Structure 1
Amino acid sequence: MRWAPSGVTAPGRAVLAAGMALAVAVVLSGCAILSTGQESSEAAGRRACGILPGGPDAASRWADLDAPLLRESLSAEGFTVDIRLVPAAEYSSAADDLLSGGCRVLLLTDQDGAGEPVALRAADRGVPVLAYDRPVTAADAAVGFDAGAIGSLAATALTDALTAAEVDPATAVIVTAPGDPSDPRSAEFTRGATETLEAAGAAPSRSLAGVWDEFRTGISFARALSALDGEIDAVWAADDANAAGAIDVLADSGAEGVIVVGQGASLTGLRNILLGRQTATVYTPVALEVDAAAEAAVALARGEEPATAAALDDGTPFIAVQPQIVGVDQVADVVADGGVTVGELCAGDVADACARHGLG
């Protein structure tokens, strides 16, 4: 299933501003989830449940950002909140425990296909399911960032940088470093980037084997660079780790002025941007995704369909949260949002670069 809504326009600041204004309006309206008189069914009537990726192999964002922000935002909407962070193998038991206690709505992030059986179990109990950040078959609605738009935004940043450097995108030597093709989001990142590059008349000179791995990307990129006799203008990478793999090889080869665009606004990516080793990254603010999820959860808890004209390929209503491009001048915005701390960002050899850009 594509994480690609129909009728969703390319990201822009105007769209993002409109989405933020809508989220604020909903919060300020003080909508009640329950009517008065339902106080006797406190457990099921006010309980928002959630299952997010957890365990040693899960990204830190789920425990550090998504879970606490979701608890805060859902609580502000009048829910009592029970969110579990568990590995895919424990999704089934976590769902049994949550659903047996009563849930008004279930927020669910898929992990290795474990989400669909949980969604079907919730449907059997009449509990609406909101797919959070990733698509889940059988969900009642979905909220997340449009992966195709993320890939497109990164490719636009790349072609814009080429043009600014007076390099014609149509003749530029570009290497792409996609993610693991088994990940549906990876395929969408690549699709969005490819369509945007083609629209600019650009085409990859080399496309590496898709992985989510800095080291393996570096090995593949070194081979590609050698095959190109060291001639390269730009790198599009599906995430900042893959970008870092290419960046290390470029540094070892002595190449200069190569445009590198990644995705994720990771600590590594932001540090590379400040050091001038990476041109840009795509930032997906978790706080905006959380606010959109809380609004959608309120609607589902009332038995309503969330207000959106967009849908996934299977018809699931989709609330698209818009990504943002981050270059050196926008790194401070990520810090202000709490995506990274100044202490983490400006440690070691990045301290001088932080000082030059008013950080630290």
Structure 2
Amino acid sequence: MNSKIRGVVIGAAAVSMALAMTACGKAGDDDAKDKGASGDKGGKSIGLLLPDTVTARYEKFDKPYFEDKVKALCSDCTVEYANAGADPNKQAQQVSDMITKGVKVIVVSAQDSAAIKSSVEEAKSKGVKVIAYDRLAQGPVSAYVSFDNEKVGQLQGEALLEGLGDKADPKSKIVMINGDDADPNAAQFKKGAHSALDGKVDIAYEQTGLWKDTVAAEKMSAAITQLGKKKIAGVYSANDGMAGGIANVLKGEGLGDIPLTGQDAELAAIQRIVAGTQYATVYKAFKPQAEAAAEVAVKLLNGEDIKSLASSEVTSGSGDKVPAQLLTPVSVTQKNIKDTVVKDGLYTVEEICSGEFAKACEKAGLK
């Protein structure tokens, strides 16, 4: 081969090799970027989906407690957060968005436990673990972290009877405003409350308040019209948000002193308890619940066994058997505000006793 031809061959080989190396390098870079975007980051990312902003606890307590605990357990983990704003369709889209981002574990408090089933199935098909938080979602969820919800309802019913005192009689008419039927917890609260109330009072009016203070207020007004305000001895409200709307109606009708229940230990509810316009609430300590969910999430993320954390088992509305961690709720009345929400640091006495509630607090011995 003459020198001219040999030079052309060597040059062509060099160019070909350079192009091949460049192509390999580019592909490697792209693969690395893809892995970093959906693999490494997604593998260390946990999704948190909460149902609404109306219930004060979710944004104020559950979210920050959960995020802090995840960070403490896994310093290089991130939490992707979204709130459904009481829209189940929006929550379904949020689940899909989390899966697309590469999140490997999703903790979700379902806005609609039945509607979210297809989203849970989609997540499982993509290898994403789902933890049902506070509300038991249908579908193949990997774990459930909540409170003993029938116990919550039982405590509410017992508190209402206690508030009624000697008026707790099978002829005493009670108004019962339950939660949203789309929330499986609502049925459990209702069942627990009925176990305490049935046969001991007359549940003369029972409706759903959809977890909305405005709807609960409308139903309370309708109950007064139907039964007559002088005939109503007490009111069961499934949560504090609805109790707020109900309390306003009762006050306007001159019934502000009849016993009213609630749940969630919201600040406004604690203040109503101090003022005597709500008899009791149920305190479900948000920090232990959020931290328990974070522990389960990190263990699932790392492929670890969760039996030590989720030692119970529950059956969802879809018939799925789900490992569960169920915490114990506590009834709160004027008598034990200091020993519950104040002792746990949920609220300070100063927060509870601000403004118009100062005198009521003094009378209740809270200062």
TM-score between both structures, scaled by the size of structure 1: 0.75
Runs of 4+ deviating beyond 6 Å:
none
Match in the other structure for 1:309: 312
2:204 is aligned with 1:205: yes
Following the alignment from structure 2 to structure 1, what is the Cα–Cα distance between the partners of residues 257 and 354? 25
What SS is found at the alignment partner of 1:282?
strand
| CA deviation after TM superposition for structure 1 residue 231, in Å | 2.2
After superposition, the Cα gap between the structure-2 partners of 1:233 and 1:94, relative to the gap in structure 1 and judged at 3 Å, is closer
Of 314, 339, 360, which aligns to 1:353? 360
Which letter maps to 2:68? E
1:130 and 2:131 correspond: yes
> 1:250 maps to which residue?
250
Name the Cα RMSD after superposition: 3.0
Cα separation, partners in 2 of 1:287 and 1:238, compared to 1, 3 Å: same
1:267 aligns to 2:274 (yes or no): no
| 2-structure distance, mates of 1:112, 1:354 | 39
1:318 alignment partner in structure 2: 324
Distance in 2 of aligned mates of 1:211 and 1:44: 36
The answer to whether the 8 A contact 1:292-1:321 is kept is: no
2:70 is matched with which residue: 52, 69, 74? 74
Go from structure 1 to structure 2 and tell me whether the alpha carbon gap of 1:309 and 1:213 turns closer, same or farther (over 3 Å shift).
closer
How much does 1:175 deviate?
1.6
Q: Which amino acid aligns with 1:205?
A: A
- 1:172-251 to 2 correspondences below 5 Å: 172-198=172-198, 201-229=200-228, 230-251=230-251
**Aligned match of 2:80:** 83
Deviation at 1:89, TM superposition (A): 4.8
Change in CA separation of 1:82 and 1:167 when aligned onto 2, cut-off 3 Å: same
Tell me what 1:334 maps to. Answer: 341
* Letter matched to residue 260 of structure 1: L
Q: Distance in 2 between matches of 1:248 and 1:318?
A: 38
5+ residue gaps, structure 2: 1-38
Q: Which amino acid aligns with 1:246?
A: I
What is the match of residue 8 of structure 1?
Answer: none
CA contact (8 A) 1:173 1:233 kept: yes
| Structure 1 residues 170-227: Cα deviation after superposition (integer angstroms, max 9, x where no partner) | 23222212233343332322222112212x5333022245443334433432343344
- Determine whether 1:121 maps to 2:113: no
Q: Which amino acid aligns with 1:206?
A: Y
Pick which of 262-271 and 245-254 moved more. 245-254
Question: Can you list the C-alpha shifts for 1:289-342, whole angstroms capped at 9, x where unaligned?
Answer: 112213322443334243413312431112112211110133233244343455
Q: Secondary structure at the match of 2:81?
A: strand
CA contact (8 A) 1:48 1:74 kept: no
1:285 to partner: Cα distance = 1.4
Deviations 1:91-145, CA, capped at 9 Å, x for gaps = 4665455445544533222234664344323322323221112222221111112
- The answer as to 2:33 corresponding to 1:50 is no
Label 1:183 to 1:106 Cα distance change in 2 as closer, same or farther (>3 A): closer
2:163 aligned residue:
161
Q: What is the CA–CA distance in structure 1 between the aligned matches of 2:194 and 2:355, rounded to whole Å?
A: 36
Q: % of aligned pairs identical?
A: 29
Kindly name which structure, 1 or 2, has the bigger radius of gyration based on alpha carbons.
Answer: 2
Report the secondary structure of 2:107's partner residue.
strand
In structure 1, what is the Cα distance between the partners aligned to 2:124 and 2:107? 13
- The Cα shift of 1:282 comes to 0.9
TM-score of the two chains, using structure 2 as the length reference = 0.74
The CA deviation string for residues 244-283 of structure 1, in whole angstroms up to 9 with x for no partner, is 3333333333347522212221222111100011111111
Residue aligning to 1:290: 290
2:141 corresponds to which residue?
139
- Counterpart residue identity of residue 75, structure 1: K
Q: Could you tell me how far apart the structure 2 residues matched to 1:215 and 1:95 are?
A: 29
Do the aligned residues in 2 keep the contact of 1:71 with 1:83 (CA within 8 Å)?
A: no
Q: How many residues align?
A: 315
Q: Does the 8 Å CA contact 1:176/1:204 hold for their aligned counterparts?
A: yes
What is the distance in 2 between the residues matched to 1:258 and 1:210?
19
Between the aligned partners of 1:190 and 1:262, the Cα distance in structure 2 is 12
